[in-house]
Amino acid sequence: MRIEGFRYTERLGAVLLRDVQKIIELDSGMDSDQEEEARGVYKINESIIHDIQKEMVIVIPTKNEKLKLFENCISGVPNACLKIIISNSDITPLNRFELEKETLQQFCDFTRRRAIIIHQKDPIISRALQEAGYTDILDEEGIVRDGKAEGMVIGILLTKFLGKKYIGFIDADNYFPGTVLEYARAYAAGFYLSKYEQCMVRILWRYKPKIHEQGLYFKRWGRVSEITNRCLNSLISFVSGFETDVIKTGNAGEHAMAISLAESIPYASGYAIEPQELLSLFEEYGDIPHLGNHRDGFKGIEILQIETRNPHLHENKGQEHINQMLLASLGAIYHSDVCCEETKNLILEELNRQGLLRLGEEPPRPKLIKAPKEIDFEAFANIVGENLDKYIVQ
């Protein structure tokens, strides 16, 4: 694959924010092809992509998605990656989780590949988390709460348990399997290009097509993403004193991390997770004067943003869903210790304008989930190790 090199980097303490790099060519030919070296563009050989993907888990969080879309998604994950599906789908009245398992089983029969599928509320997983002291993702009954983030965190723990090096997330409600393939290739390209071990790759969709009266319209920015990005950029601008628009992937559901980084970040519940990942890094490593979080000799954390060639088409879940996501995302930014008054005002203005908050109200404070590395991992691993067979499909 061929991808643009680094163009511009914004730095917040030890956190390096790379501006968007576009994918130029999805397939750049054979490894052995001799060609003149291009300027400002990297050719990443298939063998390199494959080697990284062998070390990569793709976690697919899913909740009551159409089976056709779920099947699309699993069929697009590259062969070398291990798939882990974390489902929060209904068990009654229709056992949708069972249907997902069957679909995966058929896929594994055809491909002779192994995959893992777990229900988010599986009692054994909940017990393992209780034993490990990970109450942040449990409800009052000790069962894992609803929420996309809660499913993703289980995926991180399993990836660590399996000893894999990278974890990538891909949503299940995807109409085009080819985009899934592209995301996983972009993740590998990002890890290859990164200069630091602690690396995160966030995907920017090229377009998000919408149906208008005149036909298809290839929209560039999602409604929530545009506002989340503006607020995150405002937060960074006021910290550094220099206005920036470096963040273009504040809500990127499709993103990947080195597992060493994934296990060290505190998360936020539900749909606040993606902006919170950035905020947690700024809070911990951003060298923010009023937080006193300066770290001498700390190597650095790198965030790459990669723009795909394919447009992204997923389920339209309605205005209420969009509103909740916006409130959750801006709530995370608003309540971050890094957020200054100017950015808080911008958030309040935006939410008031949209009719999502009344004057004098504040957006919701996100439920935080401590970093996975802070739990008693051995206790988790012991229970999961004894039961892993139950979750493997082959």
Chain residues binding ligand GDD by CB under 6 A are 61-63, 65, 86-88, 120, 146-148, 151, 171-173, 222, 225, 251, 253, 271, 274, 314-315, 317, 321, 325
- Among Mg ion, ligand GDD, none, what binds residue 168 when CB lies within 5 to 8 Å by partner kind? none
- Among Mg ion, ligand GDD, none, what binds residue 148 when CB lies within 5 to 8 Å by partner kind? ligand GDD
Cβ–Cβ < 8 Å for 25, 2: yes
Question: What is the token pair recorded at 314?
Answer: 């997923």
Select the residue whose beta carbon is closest to ligand GDD and give its number: 253
Phi, psi values for residue 207, rounded to 5°: -145, 160
Smallest separation, CB 59 to Mg ion (Å):
15
Smaller CB separation from ligand GDD, 63 or 113 = 63
- 160 binding Mg ion? (CB under 5 A): no
Residues in region 163-192 near Mg ion by CB under 5 A: 173
Smallest separation, CB 298 to ligand GDD (Å):
28
User: How far from chain centre, in Å, is Cα 170?
Assistant: 7
Smallest separation, CB 30 to Mg ion (Å):
36
Number of H helices, E strands in the chain: 12, 17
Smallest separation, CB 60 to Mg ion (Å):
12
Q: How far apart are CA 79 and CA 159, in angstroms?
A: 17
Smaller CB separation from ligand GDD, 45 or 64 = 64
Omega cis (within 30) before 78: no
- Among Mg ion, ligand GDD, none, what binds residue 146 when CB lies within 5 to 8 Å by partner kind? ligand GDD
Q: Which residues contact 291 (CB under 8 A, 6 or more apart)?
A: 283, 337, 338
State the first-to-last Cα distance of the chain, in angstroms, to the nearest integer. Answer: 30
Cβ–Cβ < 8 Å for 44, 3: yes
Residue given tokens 């894992």 in the structure block: 144
Nearest-CA neighbor of 272 among 319, 327, 216, 219?
327
Smaller CB separation from Mg ion, 248 or 314 = 314
Angle between helices 96-111 and 67-76 (to 10 degrees): 30
Smallest separation, CB 181 to ligand GDD (Å):
17
Smaller CB separation from ligand GDD, 106 or 316 = 316
- Among Mg ion, ligand GDD, none, what binds residue 62 when CB lies within 5 to 8 Å by partner kind? ligand GDD
Q: How far apart are CA 295 and CA 195, in angstroms?
A: 19
Smaller CB separation from ligand GDD, 49 or 232 = 232
- Among ligand GDD, Mg ion, none, what binds residue 155 when CB lies within 5 to 8 Å by partner kind? none
Cβ–Cβ < 8 Å for 170, 67: no
Smallest separation, CB 253 to ligand GDD (Å):
2
- 314 binding Mg ion? (CB under 5 A): yes
- Among Mg ion, ligand GDD, none, what binds residue 274 when CB lies within 5 to 8 Å by partner kind? ligand GDD
Smallest separation, CB 87 to ligand GDD (Å):
6
Smaller CB separation from Mg ion, 173 or 254 = 173
Q: What angle do CA 297, 303, 307 make, to 5 degrees?
A: 160
Omega cis (within 30) before 363: no
Smallest separation, CB 7 to ligand GDD (Å):
23
Question: What is the token pair recorded at 32?
Answer: 């052995």
Q: What is the DSSP letter of 278?
A: H
Smaller CB separation from ligand GDD, 274 or 302 = 274
Q: Of the listed pieces 79-87, 266-274, 310-318, 344-352, which binds Mg ion according to CB under 5 A?
A: 310-318
Phi, psi values for residue 138, rounded to 5°: -105, 150
Question: What is the token pair recorded at 359?
Answer: 């004057």
Smallest separation, CB 178 to ligand GDD (Å):
17
Residues in region 183-242 near Mg ion by CB under 5 A: none
Pairing of strands 15-18, 9-12: antiparallel
Q: Give the footprint of Mg ion on this chain (CB under 5 A).
A: 173, 314
